[in-house]
Each structure stands twice: as structure tokens, then as C-alpha cells.
Amino acid sequence: MIQDFKNKTAVLTGAGSGFGLECARIGAARGMNLVMVDVQQDALDKAEAEIKATGVKVLARRVDVSDADQMAALADEVQKTFGAPHFVFNNAGVGSGGLIWENSVKDWEWVLGVNLWGVVHGVRLFTPMMLAAAKADPGYQGHIVNTASMAGLLTAPNMGIYNVSKHAVVSLSETLYQDLKLVTDQIGASVLCPYFVPTGISQSQRNRPDAMADEKPTQSQLIGQAMGEKAVSSGKVSAAEVAGMVFHAIGADQFYIYSHPKALGNAQQRFDAIVAGTNPVDPFAARPDIGEALRAQLRKG
């Protein structure tokens, strides 16, 4: 667990906004070297200028985290510039809704590419560097945090492609935690499972690849996007508060990071049904009005 962050290096994907930017702000306040990564150049430029103004060392790069070659080049540059990082925040993510059979191959490739493969690349590239640093220096301490979602513990309807990506990140992160425990006591891991927090993820469509420009969203996808924007924008817990939770978890060697612990009641119901072998529970049991409205919208025409 990292206790002293000064002059340590953090790699943050999705650093142009949301949790990534807020973690960069905390890292800067604690005197860290910051590697800021985002696919949206204008947001990255603005974030880079803000963090550089604090006086810390910043390496900002526009990178598509789903691209293996771009991520490999990033890892190589981080190694040459700062050496092995101490904190890796595999955080970049996009949101996407709609009935699961209506998602195109390009939809799947985009969402899984960013949400899952981005984490895969971060783990496979930076973990060996961190392990080498730990072997060379008994005082080295590192931590990897992967951003999943409460959607990684639940299966809300009309957002299946997102659920699939986030369930995979939870599984990957739990396995990473166990694998690290087999080989080192110097590197920890956590998974961040936020619920509805106002960030830019509800406007993910702005960063859809050009190859998807000719794809028109289906009715269920439009409904899912509208519901997602409403839910995210109404969140009462801020991205800055969640970033504070991330740094607390790093210092406390805490694996699961929840922005809304009360939402775990829904996860408990799901796991109880799994253990009992009963059919999946009604996700709208507590808010039947939402379920009725969604069914009515989807059954039109």
C-alpha cells in the first residue's frame, strides 16, 4: 500500500474528465508525477494545462486505450520518462445502452475495446514493469485500480453491452488481486464500482469511432441513452468525492471501492437468487413505475 505519494508516478487513463481528472488533481496536490491519457484531445489539453500549472511533472498523451500498439508505445514512454509507475488507474470508459441483440459488431468492438481491452492492456503492460521495480527495490510500493461499475455486479436491462464489459472488469480485477498475492506483497489492486456519478460518460457518443458514423441508433439505444443521461446527471456523489475514495483505498489496501454502498442491496438480491437457483429478480421491484415506463416505450409500434 502506498503511504507517501510525493515524487511517485501515476498513470491515469480517461484523465481528461471525470474520475481520471479528479485523481490527477489529488495526485498533483500530493506531488506526484502524472501521466495523463485520454482520447479526446481538447479535454486532455485543458486538463494538462491545469495540472502543469501546479508545478508537477506531467506527460500527457492522446491514446486510444483499445489499441494495443498505442498502449505499448505509451508504456515504453512512461518507462523511459519516469521508470515504473507506482499507481496505475485503468479508468477510461464509455457508456452504451439498448437491447442486447440490437448492438452491432461495431458497438461491441467499441465498448469492449475501451472498457475491457483498455484495462487488459493497462494490466498486461504495466504490471510486469511494477513487478520488476518491486524485485529491484524492497521499498517499492505499487497499486493498480481498475474502473468497473455497479453494472459489473448487476444486470440492469437495456444496457447489456455495458454490463458485459463491466462484469469482465470486476472478474479481471479480482483475479489480478489474487494473482498479485501469489507473487508479491508490494503491489495491491482495487476495483472501482461507481453507481450514478455526474461525469462525462453519459455523453460517450462524442467519442464514437469515425467508422461508426453511418450507424443510426435504434429506438432502444436512444431510450437507454436518455435514461442513462438522466440517472447520471442526477447523481448526488461527485467525481471528486469518488477520487478521494480511490486514494483512500490505495492507502488502506482496500479492494472494493463503492460510491454508493446502499446499492449493494440490489447486488445482494442478485447473489441470493444465484445461490438459490431462482430466476433473476425484477430490477424494478423498488421502482415499478420506471419498469412500466420502459416497457411501454419499448413496446410501442
Q: 27 is written with which cell numbers?
A: 495526485
CB of 60 closer than 8 Å to CB of 36: yes
| Gap between the Cα atoms of 223 and 98, Å rounded | 7
The active-site residue, picked from 162, 177, 195, 258, is 162
Give the DSSP H or E segment for 180.
helix 160-183
Active site residue 177: no
Q: 110 is written with which cell numbers?
A: 467499441
The residues that bridge with 90 in the sheet, in sequence order, are 146
DSSP 2-64: ----TT-EEEEETTTSHHHHHHHHHHHHTT-EEEEEES-HHHHHHHHHHHHTTT--EEEEE--
CB of 40 closer than 8 Å to CB of 65: no
List, in order, residues 6 or more apart from 22 with CB less than 8 Å away.
239, 240, 242, 243
Handedness of CA 154, 10, 197, 263 (dihedral sign): positive
Q: Which residue from 239, 192, 247 is spatially nearest to 4, judged by alpha carbons?
A: 247
Helices 18-29 and 41-52, interaxial angle, to 10°?
Answer: 20
Q: Identify residue 293 by its one-letter amino acid code.
A: A
| Gap between the Cα atoms of 76 and 207, Å rounded | 25
* Residues labelled catalytic: 162
